[in-house]
Every structure is written in C-alpha cells, then in structure tokens.
Amino acid sequence: MDGTVSLIGSGPGDPELLTVKATRLLEEADVVLHDKLPGPEILERIPAEKREDVGKRAGGERTPQSAINERLVELAREGKRVARLKGGDPFVFGRGGEEAEYLAAHGVPFEVVPAVTSAIAAPAVAGIPVTHRDHASSVSFVTGHEDPTKAESAVDWAALAATGGTIVVLMGVGRLPDYTAALDEAGMDPSTPVALIERGTWADQRVATGTLETIVAVRDETGIEPPAVTVIGEVAATRDTVQELLTNERTEVNGDE
Ligand code: SAH
C-alpha cells in the first residue's frame, strides 16, 4: 500500500512556533526528510533514527532537488508516512511547489501543512511589522539570490522601489550590495531604514540595522550570515520605537545607542 507525504513547514525555528498539526505529523511520521533550515532546536526534538538530512551531501554540496523528489516517491511507495520538513512555510521559496508537482505527477498522495514564514516572523520578533497603517500599505517578498544586473532577472527592483511598500528579501545576504545598489539607482531614498535579521527566533538570533546607504558596511562589520532576511522600508524604523520593551530580543549586534 502507498504511504503518504506531508509537506510540513517548521516555522522559523522556535519550537513553540511549530503548529499543533506539524507537531503531530512529526510524531506520527516514519521518516522525516529535512535540511538545516528548521534549526537545531526543532531538529533535536525529532528522534535521530527518524531523521534523514537531505540538505547537504558529504563534501558539502547540495543534494540536487531531483534526488529529494525521487526519495520522497521511493519512501511513499515503500508504504512509509513521510514528513518532508521545510524551514518556514513550505510554499514560500522552499521549492515546496516543485515537490508537490512531482508527487502529483507520480501519483503519490500528499498534504501541505502551512506554517509561520520567516519572511514575516523574523521581522516581527525584531519589532518590525511588515505592514503599518502609516508607513507601508503593501509588502513584497522577493528572492535576493539572483544577480539584479542580469537582463533576465526575475525581480524588478526598480518597480519594487516605486511601490513605496516594504520589501522583504529572502536568501539575500550575499547579493545585498547588488540589490541595494539597484534600489538606489531606481531612486529609493538612501536613508531608507534597513534591517537584517539572522536566524530569527533561534536561540542565537541576531539583528543589525542601518539604511539603504550603510547596510552593506553593517553586514560586513557584524558578519551577518544566512539564514537571514533583509527588511527594507520605513517599517524597519519601528524597531527603534518598540525595542526597549520588546522581550523577544535575543542578541543585538549593532545598537544605534
Ligand atoms: N520557506 C522558508 C524560506 C526558505 S528560503 C520560509 O517560509 O521562511 C531560505 C531563506 O529563508 C533564507 O535564506 C533566509 O532568507 C530565510 N530564513 C529562513 N529561516 C529564517 C530565520 N529563522 N531567520 C531569518 N531568515 C530565515
């Protein structure tokens, strides 16, 4: 008999932000396929014998997506209850959509378990609301993974700059200099507040703040690394207003004080 696959979001990393449903399905699963993004606190709660790390292969290179897809189908065909645990929400930049399509194409029944995405949660725990009645009526979630100068870039940074809404960049630590330059060129105010939230909600979460003009230097000074989200827009300044009484704080790396 065929097993099933659950495409489960882990949330941003704090185990208390796992949904009740995710918690139940992880307990019921025969095998949990995951990478590192759910974070150590969540992963260490899953018995080691159930875990299969499909993030990195020996030698450090990424497991190809095709190998993960095939493994999901193989396990389901063995009759296993498979939990495919993905950081944040499974359908936000996690290639969950591709996995769903592959499962459907191979006749494997599956369910999707939505979750708290880091795109909203990481800013939130840093005191940054992604929308605000006075400052941002829209928010865009974009990948920072691509080269903004390449002609076929899928992200139109100039158009984003023109919306005046909040921009939340995922996978955007490495190319921060490229897209901040693209926004600057498109006429965005260089004093626009920008925040970097590294490992949001993890025990070792860090937050660094600056402006469109200074944030690359801030990144370099603080050594902010992936996984981190970049928040660009007036809302990022809300942090300054609320920070003193915000008890989500874990580590501050460059206070404005
Ligand atoms: N599906 C995930 C995103 C996967 S793409 C989600 O909904 O959150 C991977 C990117 O997510 C990382 O490069 C980083 O930008 C972001 N990310 C994931 N977890 C994060 C966390 N705890 N703190 C900050 N950024 C995180």
* DSSP code per residue over 169-197: EES-STTHHHHHHHHHHTT--TT-EEEEE
The structure tokens 């378990």 sit at: 113
Using a 6 Å cutoff on CB, does residue 12 contact ligand 1? yes
Same-domain check for residues 91 and 161: no
Pick from 113, 137, 169: which residue ends a domain?
A: 113
pLDDT for residue 255: 53
Residue 257 pLDDT > 50: no
Same-domain check for residues 58 and 96: yes
Same-domain check for residues 224 and 142: yes
Instruction: Please state the rounded mean pLDDT for residues 212-223.
Output: 98
Token pair of 231, please? 């928040």
Same-domain check for residues 9 and 77: yes
Mutating to test ligand 1, I would choose from 14, 95, 118 the residue with most ligand atoms within 8 A of its C-beta, which is: 118
Same-domain check for residues 139 and 100: no
Alpha-carbon distance 206 to 201, whole Å? 9
Specify burial of residue 248 (Cβ count, 10 A radius: 0-12, 13-18, 19+).
Answer: middle
Mean pLDDT of the chain: 94
Say if CB 130 and CB 139 are below 8 A apart. yes
Residue 90 pLDDT > 80: yes
* Higher pLDDT among residues 255 and 126, named by residue: 126
* Catalytic-residue membership of 14: no
For residue 130, the enclosing domain spans: 118-254
Same-domain check for residues 140 and 213: yes
Residue 88 pLDDT > 80: yes
Q: Find the range with the poorest average confidence among 17-31, 109-123, 186-200, 238-252.
A: 238-252
Pick from 80, 113, 146: which residue ends a domain?
A: 113
The structure tokens 């939990």 sit at: 83
Angle at 190 between CA 206 and CA 175, to 5 degrees: 55
Pick from 73, 93, 113: which residue ends a domain?
A: 113
| pLDDT tens-digit readout, 146-205 | 877 777 778 999 999 999 999 999 999 999 999 999 999 999 999 999 999 999 999 999
Number of domains forming the structure of the chain: 2
Alpha-carbon distance 138 to 101, whole Å? 29
Same-domain check for residues 151 and 64: no
- Alpha carbon dihedral 119, 120, 125, 127, in 10-degree steps, equals 110
- b/e code 77-99 from CB counts within 10 Å (16+ = b): eeebbbbbbbbbbbbbbbebeeb
Is pTM beyond 0.85? Reply is yes
> Order of strands across the sheet with 193-198?
139-143, 166-170, 228-232, 193-198, 206-211, 251-252
| pLDDT tens-digit readout, 23-53 | 999 999 999 999 999 999 999 999 999 999 9
Say if CB 216 and CB 175 are below 8 A apart. no
Angle at 180 between CA 176 and CA 182, to 5 degrees: 120
* Catalytic-residue membership of 56: yes
Same-domain check for residues 154 and 49: no
Ligand 1 atom closest to residue 89's alpha carbon, by position in its atom list: 7
